[in-house]
Amino acid sequence: MTRFGLGSEGMALLGTSSSQIDSSFEDLATPLLDSLYNFARWMARNPSDAEDLVQETCLKALRGFASFQPGTNFRAWIFQILRNTIWSSRSKLERRMTVAMDFEEEGPALAVDNETPETLLMKRSDSGLLQKAIDNLAVHHREILLLCEVEEMSYREIAEILSIPTGTVVSRLARARKAVRESLHGQLSAGGRNVSLERSATVS
């Protein structure tokens, strides 16, 4: 997200001069700005809202940087701030997420490999179809899929960001992948492209 950074222009947007920023915070946060923006854009579905969310997140993180423990996972720490910011700034979104999670059962932990038929199908699908499939996910499924598949975070990192057990990460991710797979198959079938999951998993 080159339009927004933590140099002098970025600090002006945050209401903080470059002389005030802790250099260690800048060193840690700057490489993550693109990832933070992409996640916010997927969740908010609006580029302008995403920029505002990242700016607010960076300001909160900067103000609370003294509470960050050096040597721990900064990426998980700032992504958790971003997620909480998204929740608090979108009341309707928050209510949908809360209701969905209140009725979600963790169930048995399902095995989730790095390469599954679902992820292979996602990689081979048209980007527009894939975006629609992800947009149609329940919010708590969308966020976990993005953190795992797009940001390539570990289950431990995701569990820390979402404040849920690792077993819930695994089972929720499996449901998200299944929902995307079913959505893609539905869209492909409707468009006359009947692509089987088995074929997608074997095509080189």
- Using one digit for the tens of pLDDT, what is the confidence trace for 159-189? 999 999 999 999 999 999 999 988 888 877 7
Stronger pLDDT, 193 or 97, i.e. the higher one: 193
Question: C-alpha distances in angstroms, 129 versus 54, 123, 126, 136, 183?
Answer: 27, 11, 5, 11, 9
Q: Which amino acid is at 159?
A: A
Asked whether the beta carbons of 42 and 134 are under 8 A apart, the reply is yes
Final residue of a structural domain among 61, 89, 117? 89
Same domain (yes/no): 84, 106: no
Per the structure, the count of domains in the chain is 2
Same domain, 114 and 145: yes
Q: Which CATH number is 66's domain given?
A: 1.10.1740.10
Residue ranges making up the domain that contains 19: 1-89
In this predicted structure, what is the pLDDT of residue 113?
46
My answer on whether 100 and 201 are in the same domain is yes
Domain C-terminal end among 30, 60, 89: 89
Domain boundary among 48, 73, 89: 89
The pLDDT tens digits for 108-132 are 444 444 445 445 555 555 567 888 8
Identify whether the C-beta of residue 78 lies closer than 8 Å to the C-beta of residue 68. no
Same domain for 105 and 65, yes or no, is no
Q: How far apart are CA 46 and CA 23, in angstroms?
A: 30
Of 172, 186, 157, give the one whose Cα is nearest residue 80.
157
Amino acid at residue number 153 = M
Task: Answer yes or no: do 204 and 144 share one domain.
Answer: yes
Please compute, for residue 164, the number of CA atoms within 13 A of its CA located in the half-sphere on the CB side: 19
pLDDT tens readout for residues 17-35: 554 557 889 889 999 999 9
Residue 49 has pLDDT above 70, yes or no: yes
**Do 82 and 34 touch, CB atoms closer than 8 A?**
no
The verdict on 80 and 1 lying in the same domain is: yes
Same domain, yes or no: 85 and 98: no
Q: Are residues 200 and 141 in the same domain?
A: yes
How far apart, in Å, are the Cα atoms of 44 and each of 48, 81, 82, 177?
A: 9, 15, 11, 20
- Are 37 and 22 in the same domain? yes
Answer yes or no: do 98 and 161 share one domain. Answer: yes
Kindly indicate the confidence band of residue 90, based on its pLDDT and cuts at 50, 70 and 90: low
